[in-house]
Structure formats: structure tokens, C-alpha cells
Amino acid sequence: MRRWPLLSENKLLVGLFGDKNIKSASSYTQMSQQEVWWKCPYDKKHPEYLKRIDHMVNKNKHKCPICTNSLPVNIRDDLMKQWSINNDLNPGKIKLTSHKNALWICEKHGEYSQEIRKKALRGDNCPSCSKFASNNHNLLAKYPSIAHELNESKRGIKASKLTPYSNKKLLWNCSRCGTEFKTTVNHRTSTYRKSKGTHAACPGCSGRKPTPKNNLKIKAPYLIPFWNDSRQMDKFLIHSSDKVNWKCPACNCHFKKQIKLVYKAKLTPCPNCSNAGLSTLQIRLFVELSEIFKKVDNRAIIQRYESDLLVNDCKLSIEVDGFYYHEDKYDYDLQKNKIINSNGFIAINLREEGLKQITIHDIRYSESEKHFSILHNLLKKISIFTNKDLSKYVHTYSSGKYLNDKRYYDMLHKIEPLVKNSLSDNFRDVEKRWSKLNEVSPKHVSAGSGMNVYLKCPIGLHNDYITKAYSIKNTWQSKYGGCPECAGRGKCPTEESVSATHPLISDSVIRIGFKENFKDRTIHNTSHRNNISAEFRCLNCGRKHTSTMRNKCLYNKTLGCSICYRNAPLNPYFKNIEKY
């Protein structure tokens, strides 16, 4: 039979066990439903109260009725004087915290209905009396700290003549920040009760209105040279959505932009100087075409439509349409082309693979395609429309050279870095291994990007290698740090090759690799750790067979093929040769 633990075993409840109880705590179990007397653990002056034992154990609520305002209504003499005889409720059983409506008697306005908790805990009066201020029921008596901030001189209304819940809109002066603002009395008192603070309704203290200590001029003084608006700078907040006029002191460019977007800019708020929203391909095209043609405009406006590149000499508009941003914008791009053509320009669209064709003049390109070949195809298309001889420049790009690399990199480093999730944010030491062959810094490359990047060997023994940005996270913490030559996947020096470390196996190699990428692979530049497939001739029976270089050198127990495996001599380079 199951035995319930005794109440005397609970050390906490034994200390709260009341002196009025006739029996001792050892006479009851902890699951008993009998009511006994308990002491208040928070105030010894509070009288003992009755409560069931199992409720004290399970609910773990040890506060007395006085602490929780759970006393019956008939305890309060002031409430019983206003209690109506017409009530169906028993004042001896209903608690002060009850949400039920009860009938109360007002000396002036008679009987009215009101919640018990509002009457008992908040001290609400008769609804008719609450509309008028009295000696005890006014703003000055209930909320003196709020009444002190009322600007009585404007309308001549005194705080003692206002009720705490009045909907009159009045003028207030904040005692903390000095802000003058308008709001209702009810709004001030309700926010005070919710936040327990006098200044919660003040727009200056809560950051909703500029103050002498909190405004755009104080918080962002570096934006003062850019300000070109008729309104004063200290009348705005840094997170304001208002569009104002700006002027770049470097290039004298005029632009209109939201204050919060300008404040969040990492380098410069000027769209021309920061190259915001430009792809690397668009920057490359702008720099190279500026060397060939006299006047090339970047991001020119034609009837509310923005042209990526506008060659005014030849009346050409060049649009760079990437798949990510133009996947669902076919109708918009088509309408844009019609507007450009109607203004006397010929539109040439560079469309990434996967996008629909707009016109027969479109030039297709892939994400991995080099800028040389894109410029090569573009100049051929331009020479058809303009009848100009551009063969000199076409030959330059065919040989893998650019006209102005320095300006391209200067513009590239002005692009605003990513706010988060860049390679610099995810990998602490990536800048130490960042190669000079990269066109951008790691701050501008997303950690999930499919862009090809160059990294240095972590040891410094091998050449820089190329990898995808998203694959760095898989190899960064590995043994070889992602370097293919350290891991044996790339070409290795002769002293580390199979011919030097595993001469017996190198004699049996017929060829290494079955793809075109591995035509230059030999036993003198391939590591024994490489997982590349190779063709071997069995040293035991002479049969041709295929295997990976890694398995053949390290994980095969014998030097034979799959047929004569057991009868062949042991592999002296086997990784676990001592176990066999």
C-alpha cells in the first residue's frame, strides 16, 4: 500500500504551520484536503489564515490573503457602507480581487454598478461623481508629479479642477528634458500607471521628438556638410523617415533621401561616391566604356526610369540584368526598353542565364563568365550599331587585359560593406588569408555566395587557390584549412609525390585521372593522399584495374588487384600494417 509523505517531512511548510492548530504537523499527510491554520511568511503581524494542505503543497503559493488582496469584501468597512442590499452576492465569500460587478450606493446619485476589484483596489468612485473633480478626486491629489508639469498659464485650468481621467487635451512641460507637448490628462495618468514613470508620455524622453540633447545634428555631426535642406537639422531625429535634400561635398551631387537611410550608410551617403546598388560587372563596364567613349553616364534617368549606363556619343543605353533582381521583372524591363527607345536611344540588355529574352539585341552571360569575354561581346554589338572600328579594344580584351584597372578597384572599394553575414563576420582570420587576386574585400562577399574567391595557403608553402565563398565554412576548421595542395587534392612538389613516397605503387600506375582537367597529372605531381581515380597494372598478375590513389596507397593490405588480392604480397605502405 502506498504511503503518502507526512506534512512534518516538508521543512518549509512546518515553519508556516499555525499555532491555532490542535493537532501537530505529523498528524497530517502532504496530500490531505483538510483546512488548517497557516502563518504569513512575509509579515508576522498578519493574522493566521485557513487553507487546504494539498493546495499549499501543489500550488506552491504561500502568500496570505492580505498579501494577495484575497480577503472577503466584508473585511473593509468603507466598502460595506456603500454595499447595496439588492446584491445577490455574499460579501463574506466574494474576494476583493473579483472581476464581478456589484451594486453600490452613492450619496448623491443613488445606486450604480461597478467591478469589485476596481472599487476595492483602485478606489474608483461613482461614474457620475468621477466626471467632476472634488477635494480627494482630482489630478493634484491623485498624481502630484504629473500635475506639477501642467502648463496652467496657457488655458488657465488648474490641476485641482481636473479629474485624473479627463479627455481634455492640454499643454505640458516635461521637467526632465524641457519638451513642450500636447496630450490628454487620461493619456498621462494611464501611461504613468502602466510604466510607473512620470515621463513615459513625454515624446522627448521617449525618443519620439527631437530635443537639444537628442537630434540629428548632435548624434550625427559628420552629416552636417551633406545637409542641403531649408529646414533646420536639429529638428529631426536620426531614425526619421522624412525625405530631405542632401549635397555631396566631394562630387557636388544633389540627391533626396530618407534620414534614417543616410544615417545607416557605412561609408558615405552619396549614391555616386558610395556606388551603392552597383554590381561589379556594372562598375567594370562603366570604367572600361569611359576609356573608349567621351561621355558615359552612370545611372542616368530617362522619364523616371534609371538607365544603368548611357553612352551619349552613340545614343546607347546598356542595361545589366542579373537573375536575382530581374527574375520577376520581365514586364517592367520590357516597358523600360520601350521608353528608352522612344527617347532616341538603342537599348542593349546584358541578360544573365535563366532570364527571358527581351529583344534580339540581348547579350547572354553567366555568373562565372569573365568580364573580358562580356566586354568582347558587347563591343562587337556596339560596333554593329555605330559602324565604328573598335577592333583595337576587342583585341585588348581578347588578350586578357583591361584599359583602366586602377579606377575599377578604386570604385570597387567604395561599395558599402555588408551589414552582416559577410565573410569577415563569419571567419575571424579570413583577411590574413585573403589573396591579392580578389577584386573585392571579404567585407563585400556574403558567406553564402557562389562567387569564386582566392585564398592563401594556411601554411604559406603553396600557391593561392580558388574556391567558392559558400564552401569556406566546410573547410575553414579542417586539418589543412581548405588548401587542396596541403590535403593532397592539388598538384604537389616532386618530393611529396607518389613517385618519391610510394615507389612500388608508382611503378604500377598507367594513367591518373579520366577527365580533361587531369591531363597534366603524373606520378611526379600527385600526392598519395589524393582521392583521384587512376588506372593501375597489378604487380602480381598483370591485370588492369581502377582505384583511387588514396585507397591504393593507404588502405589496400596487399599490392594485388581484386582477383589476386589474397595471394599478392603485403603492401608495405598499408596504414594499419602492424595489426595484420
Give the pLDDT band of residue 266 (cuts 50, 70, 90): low
* DSSP conformation letters of 265-288: -SS-S-HHHHTTT--HHHHHHHHH
Question: What is the mean pLDDT of the segment spanning 328-336?
Answer: 91
Q: Tell me: pLDDT of 1 over 60.
A: no
Q: Tell me: pLDDT of 479 over 70.
A: no
**How far is residue 335's CA from residue 359's CA, in Å, rounded to a whole number?**
12
Phi, psi of 234 (to 5 degrees): -80, 5
Q: Tell me: pLDDT of 236 over 90.
A: yes
**How far is residue 11's CA from residue 19's CA, in Å, rounded to a whole number?**
16
CA atoms within 13 A on the CB side of 197: 10
What is the pLDDT, as a whole number, of residue 478? 67
Is the CB of residue 164 less than 8 Å from the CB of residue 139?
Answer: yes
Question: What is the mean pLDDT of the segment spanning 322-343?
Answer: 89
Question: What is the mean pLDDT of the segment spanning 332-355?
Answer: 90
Give the long-range contacts of residues 393-400, CB within 8 A, separation 24 or more: 393/292, 397/372, 397/373, 398/372, 400/372
Question: What is the mean pLDDT of the segment spanning 553-577?
Answer: 72
Q: Tell me: pLDDT of 53 over 90.
A: no
* DSSP conformation letters of 453-485: EEE--SSSSS--EEEEGGGHHHHTTSTTTT-TT
**How far is residue 96's CA from residue 73's CA, in Å, rounded to a whole number?**
6
Every domain of the chain and the residues it spans? 7-58, 73-130, 139-195, 216-272, 275-412, 423-475, 494-579
Give the pLDDT band of residue 228 (cuts 50, 70, 90): very high
Question: What is the mean pLDDT of the segment spanning 19-28?
Answer: 87
**How far is residue 91's CA from residue 378's CA, in Å, rounded to a whole number?**
91
What is the pLDDT, as a whole number, of residue 229? 92
Q: Tell me: pLDDT of 338 over 60.
A: yes
**How far is residue 333's CA from residue 358's CA, in Å, rounded to a whole number?**
8
What is the pLDDT, as a whole number, of residue 232? 92
If you ran DSSP here, which 8-state letter would residue 164 be given? T
Question: What is the mean pLDDT of the segment spanning 288-310?
Answer: 86
Give the pLDDT band of residue 231 (cuts 50, 70, 90): very high
**How far is residue 195's CA from residue 187's CA, in Å, rounded to a whole number?**
12
Beta-carbon count within 10 A of 133 CB? 20
CA atoms within 13 A on the CB side of 431: 7
Nearest 10 degrees: Cα torsion 421, 427, 429, 430: -70
Q: Tell me: pLDDT of 16 over 70.
A: yes
Percent of the chain with pLDDT over 70: 89
Q: State if pTM tops 0.85.
A: no
Q: Tell me: pLDDT of 576 over 50.
A: no
- Mean pLDDT score across all residues of the chain: 81
Is the CB of residue 91 less than 8 Å from the CB of residue 74?
Answer: yes
**How far is residue 70's CA from residue 58's CA, in Å, rounded to a whole number?**
19
Q: Scanning the structure block, which residue is given the C-alpha cell 502532504?
A: 30
Q: Determine which of 149-153, 296-300, 398-402, 487-491 has the lowest per-residue pLDDT on average.
A: 487-491
> 122: Cβ–Cβ under 8 A, 6 or more apart, which residues?
none
Give the long-range contacts of residues 370-374, CB within 8 A, separation 24 or more: 371/281, 371/284, 371/402, 372/397, 372/398, 372/400, 372/402, 373/397, 374/281, 374/285, 374/350
What string of H, E and C letters represents the secondary structure of 170-210?
A: EEEECCCCCCEEEEEHHHHHHHHHHHCCCCCCCCCCCCCCC
**CATH second-level architecture of 275-412?**
3-Layer(aba) Sandwich (3.40)
Out of 38-47, 178-187, 516-525, give the one with best mean pLDDT: 178-187
Can you count the helices (H) and strands (E) in the chain?
23, 18
What is the pLDDT, as a whole number, of residue 192? 81
The one-letter amino acid at 31: M
Question: What is the mean pLDDT of the segment spanning 313-340?
Answer: 89
What is the pLDDT, as a whole number, of residue 420? 55
> 59: Cβ–Cβ under 8 A, 6 or more apart, which residues?
none
**How far is residue 340's CA from residue 359's CA, in Å, rounded to a whole number?**
13
Q: Tell me: pLDDT of 239 over 60.
A: yes
According to DSSP, the β-strands at 305-311 and 296-302 are antiparallel
Residue 222, SS3 per DSSP: helix
Return the higher-pLDDT residue of 365 and 66: 365
Give the pLDDT band of residue 465 (cuts 50, 70, 90): confident
Beta-carbon count within 10 A of 416 CB? 17
Q: Tell me: pLDDT of 442 over 90.
A: no
CA atoms within 13 A on the CB side of 290: 14
Q: Determine which of 54-68, 200-214, 262-276, 297-311 has the lowest per-residue pLDDT on average.
A: 262-276
Return the higher-pLDDT residue of 158 and 477: 158
**How far is residue 184's CA from residue 172's CA, in Å, rounded to a whole number?**
10
What is the pLDDT, as a whole number, of residue 557? 73
> 44: Cβ–Cβ under 8 A, 6 or more apart, which residues?
none
What string of H, E and C letters represents the secondary structure of 92-147?
A: CCCECCCCCEEEEEECCCEEEEEEHHHHHHHCCCCHHHHCCCCCCCCHHHHCHHHH
**How far is residue 95's CA from residue 444's CA, in Å, rounded to a whole number?**
65
Q: Tell me: pLDDT of 415 over 70.
A: no
Q: Tell me: pLDDT of 545 over 70.
A: yes
What is the pLDDT, as a whole number, of residue 272? 66
If you ran DSSP here, which 8-state letter would residue 13 be given? H
Which candidate, 520, 533, 529, places its Cα nearest to that of 489?
529
Polymer length of the chain: 580
If you ran DSSP here, which 8-state letter would residue 553 be given? I
Question: What is the mean pLDDT of the segment spanning 236-260?
Answer: 85
What is the pLDDT, as a whole number, of residue 275? 56
The one-letter amino acid at 416: E
What is the pLDDT, as a whole number, of residue 277? 62
Which candidate, 144, 156, 250, places its Cα nearest to that of 188?
144
Return the higher-pLDDT residue of 49 and 1: 49
Question: Which grid cell is 412?
Answer: 570597387
What is the pLDDT, as a whole number, of residue 227? 92
Q: Tell me: pLDDT of 580 over 60.
A: no
> 216: Cβ–Cβ under 8 A, 6 or more apart, which residues?
210, 223, 233, 234, 236, 237, 238, 240, 259, 263
Cross-strand bridge partners of residue 234: none
Is the CB of residue 113 less than 8 Å from the CB of residue 102?
Answer: yes
Q: Scanning the structure block, which residue is given the C-alpha cell 561635398?
A: 249
Return the higher-pLDDT residue of 290 and 1: 290
